[in-house]
Amino acid sequence: MKVVEETHTRLVIKHRPVTNWLLGGLFFIGGLSFWIYLIFFDFTSLRLSCTRSAPPEINCELERFTLLGSRKIIKLFDPQQAYVKTILGSKGSKSYQTIVVSRFGEFSLLPNISYQDNEEFIFKLNSFINSGESFFIVTQNRRIYLFYISLFALLITGIGGFLATSSLSICTFYKSINKVFIERKGLRGNTTTEYPLEEIIRFYIQDKQVKYSRIYQAVIVFKDGKEIPINPQYTDQRSVQYVVMRIRQFLNVDF
């Protein structure tokens, strides 16, 4: 927030919520990109179908599907066994994933499936491998998990969009017409509030704690009891104190 113009009859103060714009842009782009990845590229379900040929050899086809139904197929020859892999998170959290072992390597199935569902999957597959059955099919599904993660991504996108469209604030004091105009300009619309200068009863600085620092806001109080912030988005102490001092000097008041 800063004084952008001052004459004998006019004082103009402008506040650009740059922090909101930057954070909002990052949240919006990040949330939207993550949502697009979940919808178009991340796999939500799979189907493993296996056949046992005349010799004791098993050939499988692993089909993985995205939320929109696109499919990717992997040929998996002669699976030997399946087991559950435990993945430890940075804060001690655990997630589980089924691994299928074949003569040609290991194949990872869907992540973020419950331990019980993974156990059920490997029990069915290992039972088929050790049996004499000729055909087998089993599925995995994490649509509910992806549904909630998608909602979270959309929420982050919405928050980012809201912050990125924060309004530019312009406060103009006119001695010539004895009025103050408080304008909010942005993609969500423009508003203008005006009051006679004699309706102002005081200015004060409001602050609040944010993690390890304090941020500040300049507020105008009018006779009708209405309080209007010059900068709706809190900012640093120095610029707020300087602006309030300049306003008082311009209006020649000490309240």
Residues 172 and 84 in one domain: no
Could you read off the pLDDT of 109-153 as tens digits, one per residue?
Answer: 999 899 999 999 999 999 999 888 899 999 999 989 999 999 999
CA distance 187 to 176: 31
* Cβ atoms < 10 Å from Cβ of 244: 19
The band of 92, judged by pLDDT with boundaries at 50, 70 and 90, is confident
The band of 55, judged by pLDDT with boundaries at 50, 70 and 90, is low
Lowest mean pLDDT among 15-19, 42-46, 67-71, 181-185: 67-71
The number of residues in the chain equals: 255
Q: Helix, strand or coil for residue 162?
A: helix
Residue 249, token pair as written in the block:
């000097």
In the predicted model, what is the mean pLDDT of residues 54-74?
88
Domain membership of residue 97 (yes or no) is: yes
Domain membership of residue 206 (yes or no) is: yes
Instruction: Provide the domain count of the chain.
Output: 2
Domain membership of residue 117 (yes or no) is: yes
Q: Helix, strand or coil for residue 203?
A: strand
Report the Cα–Cα distance between both ends of the chain, in Å, rounded.
Answer: 21
Mean model confidence pLDDT for the chain? 93
Residues 58 and 143 in one domain: yes
Domain membership of residue 27 (yes or no) is: no
* Cβ atoms < 10 Å from Cβ of 130: 9
CATH number assigned to the domain comprising residue 215: 2.30.29
In the predicted model, what is the mean pLDDT of residues 62-90?
91
**What angle, rounded to 10 degrees, do the helices at 143-164 and 18-40 form?**
160
Could you read off the pLDDT of 217-240 as tens digits, one per residue?
Answer: 999 999 999 999 999 999 999 999
In the predicted model, what is the mean pLDDT of residues 83-97?
88
Confidence (pLDDT) at 91: 80
Q: Are the beta carbons of 217 and 240 closer than 8 angstroms?
A: yes
Q: Are strands 189-196 and 179-186 parallel, antiparallel or unpaired?
A: antiparallel
Range of the domain at 67: 35-147
Instruction: Enumerate residues 6+ apart whose C-beta is below 8 A from 217.
Output: 205, 206, 207, 229, 230, 231, 232, 233, 234, 235, 240
The band of 68, judged by pLDDT with boundaries at 50, 70 and 90, is confident
Task: Specify the pTM.
Answer: 0.81
Residue 98, beta-bridge partner list: 84
**CA torsion angle for 142, 146, 148, 152 (degrees, to 10)?**
160
Domain membership of residue 152 (yes or no) is: no
Instruction: Enumerate residues 6+ apart whose C-beta is below 8 A from 66.
Output: 39, 40, 41, 42, 43, 44
Residue 196, token pair as written in the block:
């006679």
